[in-house]
Chain A
Amino acid sequence: MTAHAVTHQIIATSSQSERKLFPIPGGVHPPENKSQSLNLPLSALPAPAKIILPLNQHIGAPAKPLVAIGERVLKGQLVASAKGFISANIHSSISGTVTAIEELPVPHPSGLPAMSIVIRSDNLDESVTYEPCENYFELPKEQVIAKIQSAGIVGMGGAGFPTSVKLGGRGKIEHLIINGTECEPYITADDILMQTYPQEIIEGVKLLAHLLGNPADVVIGMEDNKPKAFTALKEAAKGTNVQVVAFPGKYPSGGEKQLIQRLTGKEVPSGKLPSDVGAVVQNVGTVYAAYRAVKYGEPLIERITTVVGGALQKQGNVIVRIGTPVADALSEFGFKERQASQLIMGGPMMGFTLETAEIPIVKTSNCIIAPSYAEMPPVAPAQPCIRCGLCAEACPAGLLPQQLYWYARSEDHEKLQAHNLFDCIECGACSFVCPSHIPLVQYYRASKGAIRTEREEKAKSDRSRRRFEFKQERIAKAEAEKEAKRIARQKAAQEAQQKMAEQKAKAPPAAAAPATAESAEDTRARLERALASAQTRLESAQAKHAEAVAEGSDRVDQMAARVKQAELKVQEAQAKLSETQHTPTASTVDTNSDDPVARAIAKAQAKNAMSPLEKAQSNVESLENRLSKAQEKHQQALSEGADNASALLIGVNKLTEKLEQARTELQGLQAESLSSTEKPAAAPDDPAAAAIERAKAKAEAMASMSPKEKLENQIESLTGRIAKAEQKLAAAQAENADTVEALALGVEKLKAKLASTQQELEQLNP
């Protein structure tokens, strides 16, 4: 412990007895180092030559810039507006010209740059006129909260949560707790604020209490190392229901959850908000800013910041314009760059290092530390964890940091969550006490990040899985519908064919089929057109690609991909075209008939006979495709150790089964088609169609013959039939079948017919 730690005056214990205090677990006592910055009175830093206003000075969505480059803005003018519910307005803190809106280094633990508005001062410090408000207790609460919202007030203790959101919250609030704890070493910004503006703070507390429906318990809590602030506030709070409480210091008693526990004994349940236990906590700085925003209409454009550290000639608190570069503040305090071991924004326990002093002071910047090497030497290399348990003793959240460290190193995310990693407030107490200098908090931050990413990815994959399953379902449904329709069509076609055959048997119709023949023509033409256009597209793509190559443009790859695509299209079109050119010839060979009706019918039959085979083939092909893809996916999942591997394996197995089925089906069909091709090609399967053909042939033959020839023909055929019938009759008699009589009758009838025909012929042939 350094000497600074014990020099402060402890507030008399009588003031503590007014309220029952509750113990908080863990905690540490780092050297306070508060006295150095309390020697000088509060001063104001001159308006800077330029300000940088990051759009994400608060928690939530970054604000949306409202100004353009080159635009003149006034002090207090709104330059970026809140985007969404959890966001905050940003105002210019000087008058001048917007010179840039770009990504710049900002104060953020990640060290990543963010969009910022840069304004160069015109040294006029011309301000917009603010709208004061005296009767704010009489206005509707929403209107007052809107004033706080439009002034861009956010939590100034460090988190930067939009204040209006906290005030407009739900549920009944029993405790309004004003946080003046300032438990981090070095920082005295709130101390100075409470010493300097006690009256305004009390008025602000009254305002907030009013907005929250006047909770029964309104209390300002602070550590007992701020005697002046305590006395000042106590004095100002006389005659109000605002309680001012000081308690023995222990880091991190100023953490929101810890302060609630210290003052009310209530714990905010894990994953819940303070409002869930009826508490709202506001930092004193926020209260002051909110009060000024309502009473005087002032937006949040300045704050008190502690500038402290051994690498400075003098140390103290200053009022700075929001957006002032850290370098400006440091140079005002005689910064000796070479003596600084690092540059910290915030306190030494939870603050973050700045890589450059060109970073602006923002709404949440309560402290800038420029420590000397003696003050904060570079961290010693980490030694093995000996599980001494000092960290567990120090943890205010009651966690087991040594176990968390163990699981963080082995990336055991399940165990980390079982050990309540997400209840870690990253206060740094564990790292502070670790005798092996292990950067525990850093491990926890990294693990939290990894788990969050994992959760997001899981959610994403869940979504896509659901989408995939839904798609599969839809496809299956569509296929079933298609199949049903196909079957219906087939039935209808068969019925139609039967009908047609019947009709044909009576009188051979002329048309009906040409339509389909013509449509085949159409298809061919259409496909030819498609091929031609695909070729044109390919040519133009090739030309563009050549151009891109010549220019050395970075779109070459894209162009090459397009050429490839076009080539594929051309190939596809060619394939389709050749297919259609082949099929009709094949079917004409099959039928060998001049009659278009018969040809169409034959074609339809061929198609009917062929299509199951083709379908089976394409089915097998697509299944093979799907299987290989599924196997690939499964392999990938296995190698990545993803937990959907088993599900994928089941999919693969199912597909293999299906494929097997499809293959046997295909084989069956192939065998069938083979046997059917062995038969004479012209022999149609359908007896009805055969009858049609014979009937047609006969009809045509008859039409072209003379009556004599006809009769001769008839006689010939009758003689043939009689011979056949007699043959049949003989066979039946030999077998002694019961058809003998009928056959004999038939033969007699045929003989009678033959006799009458011969008579007719004799009449013609005298």
Chain B
Amino acid sequence: MSFISQSSPHAHATNSTQRVMLTVVLATIPGALAMVYFFGVGVIINLTLTIGFCLGFEAAVLYLRKRPIGFYLKDFSALVTAVLLGLALPPYSPWWMIFVGCFFAIVVAKQLYGGLGFNPFNPAMIAYVVLLISFPVQMTQWAAPVNLGDLPSISEALTKVFTGTAIDGYSGATPLDAFKQSESLTVADIYSQKPIFSEAFFAGAGWEWVNAGFLLGGLFLLWRKIFTWHAPVSMLAVLALMSIIFYDGSSESSAPVLTHLFSGATMLGAFFIITDPVSSAVSNKGRLIFGGCIGLLVFLIRHFGNYPDAVAFSVLLMNFAAPFIDYYTVPRSYGHSKPRRATEKVDV
């Protein structure tokens, strides 16, 4: 009898790419639940649409590229992109906007580059930025959290999403919007006058819990060793540090540390977006730099720029820089006194 011949090792860990992807999806649940609680059924409609569109686009492109559809759909990377995009878009967004977003995420940002593992940019963030630039009105209409008003009913929500019929008074300023439009109010004034803060515990009504949910999911992923701590910790640390440096309570002041950390897309970005291994730096040192720069950019754009939030822009900018960071952060190998540069000439 002839036995099969294969290369060592013959033992393998039970880990698999689909398991990694599913774990990531699982970890979004606490944050997603918080979003559904505070912003209503629109979040569920978002997720349903993004998942449907993304998987559809993925399958269609795989068909066109003559790749085994089932094999690649089962890596669940499109599902992760869909969930992240669905959570990033404002609830009650029109369906066609979600359609365009999914197209850009899957077809343009991912498959045109060669599919999973070959995309230089985070697909969900590409889609988000394309939509933000193309449809600024729709993209900045966030629902007001449940404790500041009534949430739309299911039928209202569906009509809004599919026909565009406006719902009265469902949207409101996010905590970061509130700071952006603070006119000449001091931090203390903002906290007492704006309902989004006056109704909150520590960072912004609703948003603080959503971010706490994503933090929880992120810690779960860290515990499961899905990614290393370097990038998220570095990003959050730099963001916190910057907001402390620029905080003085006046009308020119930065938002307080907790507001920066627990509002907008901070936690979603820190644990679910910048940890996307494909588009980030590869070494641990590189990830520290990658995350730190994102934290810095997020603060700079939030505080000095025109946009209230900046995670998507920062991530994309640093995606550009990832190969550059890799170039300078090749780790030292065993038996070498110093790390080699990636382009160093080798004696052949």
Binding site for B on A (CB under 8 A): 25, 28, 30-31, 109, 111, 185, 257, 261, 267-272, 337, 340-344, 346, 348-357, 369, 371, 376, 378-381, 383-390, 392-393, 396-400, 402-403, 413-415, 417-420, 423, 426, 428, 431-437, 439, 441-442, 445, 451, 454-455, 458
Contacts A389-B228, A389-B282, A436-B17: A397 and B334 contacting too (C-beta < 8 A)?
Answer: yes
Taking a contact as CB atoms under 8 Å apart, the answer to whether A387 and B344 are in contact is: no
Name which residue of chain B comes closest to A414, CB basis: B346
For the complex of A and B, list the 4 residue pairs with the smallest distance between their C-beta atoms, beginning with the closest.
A428-B9, A384-B117, A270-B335, A442-B7
B244 to chain A, nearest CB (A): 31
Contacts A386-B17, A420-B336: A340 and B3 contacting too (C-beta < 8 A)?
Answer: yes
Name which residue of chain A comes closest to B4, CB basis: A342
- Mark the stretch among B93-101, B264-272, B325-333 that contacts chain A: B325-333
A366 to chain B, nearest CB (A): 14
Taking a contact as CB atoms under 8 Å apart, the answer to whether A111 and B5 are in contact is: yes
Interface size on B, residues (CB 8 A): 52
Residues of A within 8 A of B335 (CB): 257, 267-272, 397, 423
Residues of B within 8 A of A376 (CB): 10-11
Taking a contact as CB atoms under 8 Å apart, the answer to whether B5 and A418 are in contact is: no
Query: What is the bound-complex CA distance between A351 and B6, given in angstroms?
Result: 10
Name which residue of chain B comes closest to A257, CB basis: B334
Taking a contact as CB atoms under 8 Å apart, the answer to whether B348 and A354 are in contact is: no
Select B12's contact among A381, A419, A431, beta carbons within 8 Å: A431
Taking a contact as CB atoms under 8 Å apart, the answer to whether B11 and A343 are in contact is: no
B323 to chain A, nearest CB (A): 11
Taking a contact as CB atoms under 8 Å apart, the answer to whether A431 and B5 are in contact is: no
Contacts A267-B334, A337-B1: A380 and B11 contacting too (C-beta < 8 A)?
Answer: no
Centre residue among A185, A269, A379, A389 by max chain B CB count within 10 A: A389
Name which residue of chain A comes closest to B7, CB basis: A442
Residues of A within 8 A of B331 (CB): 392, 398, 400
Contacts A354-B3, A380-B16: A418 and B346 contacting too (C-beta < 8 A)?
Answer: yes
Taking a contact as CB atoms under 8 Å apart, the answer to whether A356 and B15 are in contact is: no
Query: What is the bound-complex CA distance between A270 and B10, given in angstroms?
Result: 27
Taking a contact as CB atoms under 8 Å apart, the answer to whether B334 and A396 are in contact is: yes
Centre residue among B77, B226, B335 by max chain A CB count within 10 A: B335
Taking a contact as CB atoms under 8 Å apart, the answer to whether B277 and A349 are in contact is: no
Residues of A within 8 A of B283 (CB): 389, 392, 400
Taking a contact as CB atoms under 8 Å apart, the answer to whether B340 and A419 are in contact is: yes
Taking a contact as CB atoms under 8 Å apart, the answer to whether A441 and B7 are in contact is: yes
Binding site for A on B (CB under 8 A): 1-13, 15-17, 19-20, 71, 75, 77, 115-118, 225-228, 277-278, 280, 282-284, 326, 330-337, 340-346, 348
Taking a contact as CB atoms under 8 Å apart, the answer to whether B11 and A432 are in contact is: yes
Taking a contact as CB atoms under 8 Å apart, the answer to whether B282 and A433 are in contact is: no
Name which residue of chain B comes closest to A270, CB basis: B335
Centre residue among B13, B19, B331 by max chain A CB count within 10 A: B13
Contacts A30-B13, A353-B4, A417-B348: A423 and B334 contacting too (C-beta < 8 A)?
Answer: yes
Residues of B within 8 A of A378 (CB): 4
B77 to chain A, nearest CB (A): 7
Query: What is the bound-complex CA distance between A268 and B8, given in angstroms?
Result: 25
A272 to chain B, nearest CB (A): 7
Residues of B within 8 A of A413 (CB): 348
Query: What is the bound-complex CA distance between A323 and B2, given in angstroms?
Result: 20
Residues of A within 8 A of B340 (CB): 418-420
Taking a contact as CB atoms under 8 Å apart, the answer to whether B10 and A353 are in contact is: yes
Query: What is the bound-complex CA distance between A412 and B11, given in angstroms?
Result: 29
Taking a contact as CB atoms under 8 Å apart, the answer to whether B75 and A383 are in contact is: yes
- A and B contact pairs by CB, cutoff 8 A, 15 listed: A111-B5, A269-B337, A348-B8, A376-B11, A379-B6, A383-B17, A386-B117, A392-B331, A415-B342, A419-B340, A420-B333, A435-B15, A439-B6, A445-B7, A451-B348
Taking a contact as CB atoms under 8 Å apart, the answer to whether B116 and A381 are in contact is: no
- 15 extra interface residue pairs, beta carbon distance < 8 Å, beyond A111-B5, A348-B8, A388-B20: A109-B8, A344-B10, A384-B118, A387-B277, A387-B280, A387-B282, A388-B226, A388-B277, A393-B228, A396-B334, A398-B334, A428-B9, A431-B8, A432-B9, A437-B12
A638 to chain B, nearest CB (A): 21
Taking a contact as CB atoms under 8 Å apart, the answer to whether A353 and B333 are in contact is: no
Query: What is the bound-complex CA distance between A12 and B145, given in angstroms?
Result: 58
Query: What is the bound-complex CA distance between A342 and B277, given in angstroms?
Result: 34
Query: What is the bound-complex CA distance between A455 and B345, given in angstroms?
Result: 15
Query: What is the bound-complex CA distance between A402 and B283, given in angstroms?
Result: 10
Query: What is the bound-complex CA distance between A658 and B308, given in angstroms?
Result: 74
Residues of A within 8 A of B5 (CB): 111, 353, 355
Residues of B within 8 A of A379 (CB): 6, 12
Contacts A337-B1, A340-B3: A386 and B116 contacting too (C-beta < 8 A)?
Answer: yes
Query: What is the bound-complex CA distance between A343 and B283, given in angstroms?
Result: 37
Residues of B within 8 A of A349 (CB): 8-11
Query: What is the bound-complex CA distance between A340 and B335, given in angstroms?
Result: 40
Residues of B within 8 A of A28 (CB): 13
Query: What is the bound-complex CA distance between A398 and B283, given in angstroms?
Result: 10
